[in-house]
Amino acid sequence: MLVLLVGRDALGLDRSSATFYRWRSFVDAGIRLVCVISARKRMNLDDGDLRVISSGGRNVFVRLFRTLSLIIQEGKHVDLISVQDPFELGIIAYIVAMIYRKPLEVQDHGGFFDGEDPGEPFWWLRRHMAMFLLRKTQLIRTVSPGSLERLCRLGFGNKVVFIPIAAHERYEHVKRTPEKYHIITIGRLIPIKRHDLLIHAFSIFAKDKPEARLSILGDGPEKERLQRLIVDLNLSNRVSLLGNTDPLIWLKKADCFVMPSRHEGWGVAAVEAASVGVPVVMTNTGCAQWLVSHKRALVVDVDCSPRQLADMIDRACSEPFSDHSFLQLPQIPSQILAWKQMIQN
Domain count, the chain: 2
Q: Fill in the amino acid letter for 321.
A: F
Are residues 151 and 197 both part of a single domain? no
Share of the chain above pLDDT 90, in %: 81
Query: Average pLDDT of 261-274?
Result: 94
**Burial status of residue 113 (CB atoms within 10 A of its CB: 0-12, 13-18, 19 or more):** buried
Neighbours of 315 (CB within 10 A): 13
Residue 135 lies in a domain: yes
Phi, psi of 33 (to 5 degrees): -130, 130
Are residues 208 and 118 both part of a single domain? no
* pLDDT at site 325: 81
Are residues 158 and 263 both part of a single domain? no
Are residues 158 and 35 both part of a single domain? yes
Are residues 133 and 19 both part of a single domain? yes
Residue 126 lies in a domain: yes
CATH number, domain of 190, equals: 3.40.50.2000
Are residues 24 and 60 both part of a single domain? yes
Question: In Å, what is the CA distance from 331 to each residue of 36, 165, 223, 251, 289?
Answer: 21, 6, 32, 22, 18
Are residues 303 and 203 both part of a single domain? yes
pLDDT digits (tens, 9 = 90+) for 22-70: 899 999 999 999 999 999 989 999 989 999 999 999 899 999 999 999 9
Better-scored residue on pLDDT, 186 or 326: 186
Residue 47's DSSP bridge partners are 50
Domain boundaries, position 59 = 2-166+329-344
Query: Average pLDDT of 190-198?
Result: 96
Are residues 7 and 113 both part of a single domain? yes
Q: Is the pLDDT of residue 107 over 80?
A: yes
Cα–Cα distance between 322 and 307 in angstroms, integer? 26
Grouping H, G, I as helix, E, B as strand and the rest as coil, residue 1 is: coil
Phi-psi domain of 15 (left: phi exceeds 0; alpha: psi -120 through 50; beta: other):
alpha
Are residues 311 and 176 both part of a single domain? yes
At 262, is the pLDDT very low, low, confident or very high (cuts 50, 70, 90)?
very high
* pLDDT at site 305: 97
Residue 64 lies in a domain: yes
Are residues 183 and 122 both part of a single domain? no
* Sign, Cα dihedral of 263, 297, 237, 197: positive
Residues 6+ apart with CB under 8 A from 186: 217, 218, 247, 250, 257, 259, 269, 273
pLDDT digits (tens, 9 = 90+) for 241-252: 999 888 999 999
Are residues 146 and 187 both part of a single domain? no
Q: Are residues 270 and 282 in contact, defined by beta-carbon separation less than 8 angstroms?
A: yes
Neighbours of 69 (CB within 10 A): 13
Are residues 201 and 313 both part of a single domain? yes
Residue 153 lies in a domain: yes
Residue 323 lies in a domain: no
Alpha carbon dihedral 115, 116, 119, 123, in 10-degree steps, equals: 30
Better-scored residue on pLDDT, 54 or 14: 54
* pLDDT at site 46: 92
Cα–Cα distance between 13 and 28 in angstroms, integer? 18
Residue 324 lies in a domain: no
Cα–Cα distance between 40 and 51 in angstroms, integer? 18
pTM: 0.86
